[in-house]
Structure 1
Amino acid sequence: MNDVFDFAAPLPDGEEQPLAAWRGDVLLIVNVASECGFTPQYEGLQALQERYAERGFRVLGFPCNQFGGQEPGDADQIRACGLRFGVSFPVFARIEVNGDAAYPLYRHLKDQAPGALGTRGIKWNFTKFLVGRDGRVIDRFAPQKKPADLTRAIEVALDEPRPSAANGS
């Protein structure tokens, strides 16, 4: 797999959503949790979604229960997450981001953008990956980095031209 648009991800109802649906958009992929100290970041993520959606920006939320058991909900509770936190961006089925059972998309993200000192593992909930219009990972941001602090990086990515069909994208 060459870029994130080659992957699909599970929705809470079990259906697979091809990420190719957002080909040409800038993505912010975030492992989320509903009972985490960083959960208030949902508000900031939604603000980014609203601010940049018309320019081709999408937030994609991936619930994960690997950090302190902070996403214990079942599929129905995860589906309700959008209503509970007032988000309009997709919130996928719960996945693992580390270990042998790490979802393939997250293995790819970590390979493309290692963390500090070259570490691959996700350290906690709300780690963020910024993906360019070409599907390549631009940067990785620690959980402590607030969504509002990403505006400059997002704007730079949005200013990149959309890939043309002629170059195979």
Structure 2
Amino acid sequence: MLRTLLGALVALAVWPVYAGGTACPAFLDHELRKLHSSQSVNLCDVSAGKPMLVVNTASHCGYTGQFEGLQALHEKYRDSGLVVVGFASDDFRQEAATEEEAATVCYKNFGVTFTMIAPGPVTGDQANPVFQHISQQSQSPRWNFSKYVLDSNGQVVQAFPSQVKPSDPELIRAVESVL
């Protein structure tokens, strides 16, 4: 009994409990500024205990049109619990010169309503905590629009390279497997 109690206390220390009594992995428990906004979001507040589709994005890339498909996935699966989060990044030198321009591409050109995070590194030692966690389980993005399906415990279930479209049947199967 003592071992069970100690295990529960350790779990609480590592995984804070959020709304609805859901434990949140430490890699999500960070304030991240939203794209072209002074507001920040703690991903624990929007995704604790939910499966996620995490994507590194860029505004001036041959794959930028995938925003449309990502938005479609968000709309189709959000009521089933899927959380789509885009991380703007200039790691591959194809992000817009300003956040205002990046926001225009996302919100006006493609109608994005899922959470978009302000530009920051997604590779290397300076990568944000989400991509550090992903890189420990999978591989770091090799280009823009790398996609990662995470289960409700924050474990990478499957990774998809840039050329795999959001409408690809294999990606959809991976998403549906975590719902």
- Cα distance between partner residues in 2 of 1:86 and 1:74: 18
Alignment match, 1:123: 142
- Cα distance between partner residues in 2 of 1:139 and 1:125: 17
Alignment match, 1:54: 79
Alignment match, 2:132: 107
AA of the residue aligned to 2:176: E
TM-score normalized with structure 2 length:
0.76
- Cα distance between partner residues in 2 of 1:111 and 1:38: 25
- Identity percentage over the alignment? 37
Deviations 1:83-119 (A, max 9, x none): 22111111110011122322222111111123xxxxx
Alignment match, 2:96: 72
- Cα distance between partner residues in 1 of 2:32 and 2:158: 20
AA of the residue aligned to 1:157: V
AA of the residue aligned to 2:173: R
Q: Which has the larger radius of gyration?
A: 2
Provide the secondary structure at the position in 2 that maps to 1:147: coil
The counterpart of 1:20, out of the listed 25, 41, 44, is: 44
Provide the secondary structure at the position in 2 that maps to 1:38: coil
CA RMSD of aligned residues (A): 1.8
AA of the residue aligned to 2:153: D
The counterpart of 1:5, out of the listed 28, 31, 37, is: 28
